[in-house]
Amino acid sequence: MLQQLTKRLLESALEGEITDHLGYDKHDPVGRGTGNSRNGTRSKTVLTDVGSVGIDVPLDRSAEFEPRIVAKRQKRLTGVDEMVISLSAKGLTTGGISAHLAEAYGAEVSRQTISTLSRQGGRGHGRVAGPASGSALSGGVHRRDPRQGP
């Protein structure tokens, strides 16, 4: 379950990054004839706190897309479960955490999944952990506000 959550978070964030890079949403006719567009995905496995997670990284035709959330050649990624636990410790409800993940990463994560992750992550630690230092997710993904111009 944690691996599925991590996969969904990462892939949603990567989709947001390529949308920002290209300047238009997937399947948006605005992208036709721009000279660069989505060009499928490539599979990649990253090692996380919850084990190996297979993700699909989007590609662009001109090979200019440089993902930040999971950089090229990056194999190790930590901090997803710590991020959820940290948000919970800061007083966010499961609904608030779910809304934050949807807003920041474009990932739809149920309240039940957040609740389960919070319970499982807190076991045996003695304290609630904050985001891992240097974690790709601890710094967040900065997405462009679609209401603002390019």
30: left (phi over 0), alpha (psi -120 to 50) or beta: alpha
User: Looking at the structure, do residues 64 and 32 belong to the same domain, yes or no?
Assistant: yes
Q: Quick one: pLDDT at residue 62?
A: 94
Tell me if 144 is assigned to some domain. Answer: no
Confidence at residue 140, expressed as pLDDT on a 0 to 100 scale: 37
10 and 24 inside one domain: yes
**Domain total for the chain?**
2
| Contact assessment for residue 59 and residue 38, using Cβ atoms and an 8 Å cutoff | yes
Q: Are 73 and 99 contacting, i.e. CB atoms less than 8 angstroms apart?
A: no
Residues of the domain holding 107: 79-133
pTM tops 0.75: no
* Mean pLDDT in order along the chain per 10 residues (150 residues): 83 88 90 90 90 94 90 81 75 84 71 69 38 37 44
**Nearest one of 79, 84, 117, 119 to 99, comparing CA atoms:** 84
Domain check: are 19 and 72 in the same one?
A: yes
C-alpha separations of 109 from 80, 125, 143 in Å: 13, 24, 18
Confidence at residue 119, expressed as pLDDT on a 0 to 100 scale: 66
In a domain, 63, yes or no: yes
Query: Do 68 and 84 fall within a single domain?
Result: no
pLDDT of residue 99: 84
Half-sphere CA count of 61, side-chain side, radius 13 A: 9
